[in-house]
Structure 1
Amino acid sequence: MDLKDLQLFIRLVKYPSLSEASERLYIAQSALSRRLLRLEHQLGVSLLIRSARGIELTPEGEHLAKKAQGIFDQIHALQNEIVTMSSRPSGVVKLGFTPSVARTFGPKLAATIASSCPEINLILHEYHNDKVVDELQQGNLDLACFYSERRETELDANVLLREPLYLIGSLKSFRSAGLSTDVARVEALMDLPLIIPEDRSINRIIGQLLSQRKTLAHAVPGSTVHTVKGLIADDKGFAIWPYVVVQDEVMDGRLLMANIEPSIVWLLQVGCAPRRPLSPAAAVTKKVISSSVDVLLQSGQWRGERG
């Protein structure tokens, strides 16, 4: 059986007559009739009933048209699968982010990639913010989520989120300073004992914020977020952080936070290694990161505005 004749049969039976099929398919009616007769001869059955009113399928012709259409649909689907397989992103993607970002959407991101793109081997690395940026700049990561007070153009970074910063402290610290847990004015921060980890971005923000302050905020050399949280919980001072860093502690009442006015924001960004083309696998991962942030914003697990 000639598959081209079979394809033509499927197409021509969609029309009420051979003359209309000839006109619409741009094939001479004599050629249509010849090929149809050849197909009927090969199968040994009549496929069409021809009359002055047009054409009508015989039971054999109706069965053939239905089955043949299914076969060609399967062939088309198989072609699409092969194309998809050959273009489906695969390979290793090394992604770096801070512990707070990792905790917020790391598991969801990994699960999404594993289910939708199993050929991608996603390797996650957690560092403090400065280390994330350094590793990305050195080419040790393919992608990274990090914070900065400005868009990092040299890392081809896209702003995911404009995230507000809050004044974080214990209930005792807020009461001792006579501060409301609703709103803290920037001027009120000038005399507060601020505890900050060694992070270039947050240091620059606080440095600019407190440029008129006579004494610098108290930095804790080499400290981790966990260490600073412990000092704040022990009533040793305040921190300026986004909600995502202290979400668990605020929800269970261990720490409190106040909006800062005028508001201060820093930027959550996703960037790629400089001077390195973004692989298809990394590009897909970058899109999943962006959609994950959207979901978390809508659910209230993250606070801020899309960049």
Structure 2
Amino acid sequence: MDMRQLQYFVRVVESGSFSAAAAALHMTQPSLSRQVALLEADVRQRLLTRTGRGVMPTEAGQALLAHARQILEITNRAREELRELNASPSGRVVIGLPPRVALQLSAELVARFRERLPRAVLSISEGLSLHLREWLVAGRLDLALLFDPAPSPQLSYHTLLQEPLLLVAPPGTALPARVALSALPSYPVVLPSAPNSIRSLVEALLLPRGITLQVLAEVGAVQTVLALVERGVGSTLLPESALHLGSGVRLPHAPIGPPGVRNKLVLATPRAGPNTRLLKETRALLLELDHRAMLRGAPR
């Protein structure tokens, strides 16, 4: 069958007359009638019947109409996909990042995004992992990097990085090679305020064992936690990469355990929803980044 003839046939049925269809297709009515007649000859069926108010599809015409619409839809979809292969996708993608990840990754991420997807716009939303997870489920974000998110049937997780949690102490503190969990209460600590993924990790590890920390203060930002540790206010519990957010003062640190606990960074994406080329390209870009080096402030 000729694709143009199928298109003409569908337009005649939808318009209800040859004259209206010819006008919409910018062709003469005799030319349109001839094309439909050729289609009828090809399928050896009468497809249209004339009425006092125009034309109606016959039983054979109704059968062909359903197939013709499907064929034209598939053809248009294939044409669009092939067109996308030759053009950089456009649109807007919104990524959620925890504050300390945004601080270390944003410049490199934006630079690479602009290089790879020059016609698209990248929007970065910062927030705690708990809030980013809620925004992702609610559809406010397209993708997000999260620390230790709770399982969700609505989200898919891909682990990017795992780091051991360390006891970080003020300058001059003598620490063993590894700090036993039972010894942690002897180190007064400054911790991130709940809700916080690091705080949740610590509580999940210690509470079932009946271990209670001496919490001196709770603050929101990891940078503030490190500033307090540098001034000797107390120790803290942080992943290794967080040490690079301090002023540069060398702080004593040691892994905790056994059992140890690892802080996990994941790429979270909705299981349902659109999966455009723009989102695929952005996800691929996020997977390519050297997250370990970036979070530690190393050259890339």
Root mean square deviation of aligned Cα: 3.1
Instruction: Give aligned pairs, total.
Output: 215
Query: Which residue is equivalent to 1:162?
Result: 162
Query: Using a 3 Å threshold, how does the CA distance of structure 1 residues 199 and 83 change in structure 2: closer, same or farther?
Result: closer
Are the structure 2 counterparts of residues 284 and 222 from structure 1 closer, same or farther at C-alpha, using a change threshold of 3 Å? same
Structure 2 gaps, min length 5: 1-81
Q: Deviations over 1:253-300 (max 9, x none)?
A: 25332222333112101112464233321221111111103xx54789
C-alpha distance in structure 2 between counterparts of 1:152 and 1:266, whole Å: 18
CA distance in 2, matches of 1:121, 1:300: 24
How far does residue 218 in structure 1 lie from its aligned partner after superposition?
Answer: 2.5
Q: Show structure 1 runs of 4+ deviating over 6 A.
A: none
The residue aligned with 2:128 is 128
Give the 3 Å change call, closer, same or farther, for CA 280–207 of structure 1 in structure 2.
same
Deviation at 1:129, TM superposition (A): 2.7
Code of the residue aligned with 2:85 in structure 1: it is: T
208-217 vs 192-201, which moves further: 208-217
Matches within 5 A, 1:138-177: 138-148=138-148, 152-172=152-172, 174-175=173-174
Matches within 5 A, 1:19-98: 84-86=85-87, 88-98=88-98
Structure 1: 5+ residue runs without aligned partners? Answer: 1-80
Correspondence 1:101 to 2:101: yes
- 2: CA distance between counterparts of 1:203 and 1:283? 33
- Distance 1:152-1:161 versus aligned 2 partners, 3 A rule: farther
1:188 corresponds to which of 180, 183, 197: 183
Corresponding residue number in structure 1 for 2:43: none
Give yes or no for contact 2:104–2:295 (8 Å, CA) kept in 1: no
Deviation at 1:302, TM superposition (A): 7.5
Q: Which residue does 1:202 correspond to in 2?
A: 198
Aligned to 1:37: none
Q: Does 2:278 correspond to 1:288?
A: no
Alpha-carbon distance in structure 2 between the residues aligned to 1:240 and 1:226: 13
Residue in structure 2 matching 1:253, options 249, 258, 261: 249
With structure 1 as the length reference, what TM-score do the two structures score? 0.60
State the 1:157 CA deviation: 1.8
- Which SS does the other structure have where 2:154 is aligned? helix
C-alpha change, 1:190 and 1:154, in structure 2 (3 Å) is farther
C-alpha contact (below 8 Å) 1:149/1:265 kept by paired residues: no
Q: Distance in 2 between matches of 1:111 and 1:126?
A: 18
Q: Tell me the SS of whatever aligns to 2:86.
A: helix
